[in-house]
Copies of this chain bind each other. A is one copy, B any other.
Amino acid sequence: MSTVSNKGIIFKAVPEGLPNSNVHFEVVHHKIDIKNLKLGENDFILRNLYLSLDPYVRLTMKESHIDPVMPSQAIGHVLSGIGVSEVVKSNNPNLKVGDLVYGLIGWEEYTHIKTDAKKINDIHFKNINYHKKLLKEVPLSYQISLLQLSGLTPYGSLMALGKPKAGETIYISCAAGATGHLVGQIAKIKGLKVVGSTGSDEKVDFLLNELKFDAAFNYKKVDLDKTLSELCPNGIDIYFENVGGKTLEVVLNHCNRFARIPVCGMISQYNITNQKEKYGVKNLDSIIHKSICVHGFLAMDFIGSQVEKDFETDMLEWVKSGKIICKENVIEGIENAGKAFTDMLVGNSVGKSIVKIADYYNYL
């Protein structure tokens, strides 16, 4: 192994509204000489296998400023995102060549991690070697979906904030999205009536026929208020919020007393940069007499909590027993990540969008 291609995507310009893959991203054809590259103490080099495309990355595509919760991407540099990789060279005492890791990588083929930390947990990497034994049952790509943050997001928020009880009704917007389609499946496991909305008939079919939702509809084709009256005659106990704006306003009118609204996203408002053009929600007073709880969250909120421990146990069991699946939208080649990212943001994808950067051979 000597000098090899290290294609990547750099962050070229801050988008207003929806990013354009030709304007705000740029594919760069770097090279990397793994053999001769000198590593600092604790450094390591990753061969990236899978990259997760997550909506949160849009929020990091901003003018650089200090934000400890969500640091911005650096203009002119390779974008960062969550990925699964194998170690190909290591000066870190806790990593050896061939180890599988999960963590924050570059949108590129190889990432050189420069760090002072001996413990990879300190820089938010996880050793996932245990997956090597699971490979016959569980695809490795599930490490950037169901088994890690993308699974903890729906599980943690539904369990800790949604507090589902069997027999209740949950309505999920963006129900065919990466998080929504998992929330719906977990809610089914927990015995809820699951109603979802999405933006195409194809995705409605997916929800009804593949995921066995109790009801699903194409929000572009119906009157939401009327449809919720029909599909949720007993009212809504949990609204899993991905959309915001007018949708939230309508749903509040259908909420039962003590309804819970975990707020995962408000995608209808993300690309409106002029504050004045955003939708103003007028019926928030219904929160009072219905004692509704509206609770925003980031996936990281659940890290280290009891719900994360429960998640690790439950999710692996559900995956192995086939009780839950992750619908993957796999894009081949890092050079296609920019366009795939934009497609995901506008809802042109079903399930979890993943870039497959390279095959994982090592276990063979």
Given contacts A257-B69, A263-B288, contact A283 B278 (CB under 8 A): yes
Specify how many copies of this chain sit in the oligomer.
2
Partner of A291 from the list B59, B248, B296 (CB cut-off 8 Å) is: B296
Name 15 interchain pairs, CB-CB below 8 A, sorted by A: A69-B257, A70-B289, A244-B284, A244-B285, A265-B288, A266-B285, A279-B280, A279-B282, A281-B281, A288-B297, A288-B298, A289-B296, A291-B295, A291-B301, A295-B295
Contact B293 A296, beta carbon cutoff 8 Å? yes
Q: Is A264 an interface residue (CB 8 A)?
A: yes
Contact B293 A295, beta carbon cutoff 8 Å? yes
Contact B282 A264, beta carbon cutoff 8 Å? no
A-to-B contact residues, CB < 8 Å: 59, 69-70, 244, 248, 257, 263-266, 269-270, 275-276, 278-298, 301
CA distance A264 to B284 in the complex (A): 12
Closest approach, in angstroms, between the C-beta of A254 and any C-beta of chain B? 16
Given contacts A266-B284, A275-B282, A279-B282, contact A289 B298 (CB under 8 A): yes
Residue on B with the closest CB to A67? B289
Contact B291 A293, beta carbon cutoff 8 Å? no
Chain B residues near A244: list those with CB within 8 A: 284-285
CA distance A289 to B299 in the complex (A): 10
Contact B293 A294, beta carbon cutoff 8 Å? yes
Chain B residues near A298: list those with CB within 8 A: 288-289, 291
Contact A285 B297, beta carbon cutoff 8 Å? no
Closest approach, in angstroms, between the C-beta of A286 and any C-beta of chain B? 8
CA distance A269 to B283 in the complex (A): 9
CA distance A290 to B296 in the complex (A): 7
Q: Looking at A275, A288, A292, which has the most chain B CB atoms within 10 Å of its CB?
A: A288
Chain B residues near A286: list those with CB within 8 A: 296
Given contacts A294-B293, A294-B295, contact A266 B282 (CB under 8 A): no
Residue on B with the closest CB to A261? B294
In the complex, given contacts A275-B282, A286-B296, what are 8 additional A-B residue pairs having Cβ atoms less than 8 angstroms apart? A69-B257, A281-B281, A281-B282, A287-B295, A289-B296, A292-B296, A293-B293, A293-B295
Closest approach, in angstroms, between the C-beta of A295 and any C-beta of chain B? 5
CA distance A288 to B281 in the complex (A): 15
CA distance A244 to B278 in the complex (A): 18
Given contacts A279-B280, A281-B280, contact A296 B301 (CB under 8 A): no
Contact B275 A283, beta carbon cutoff 8 Å? yes
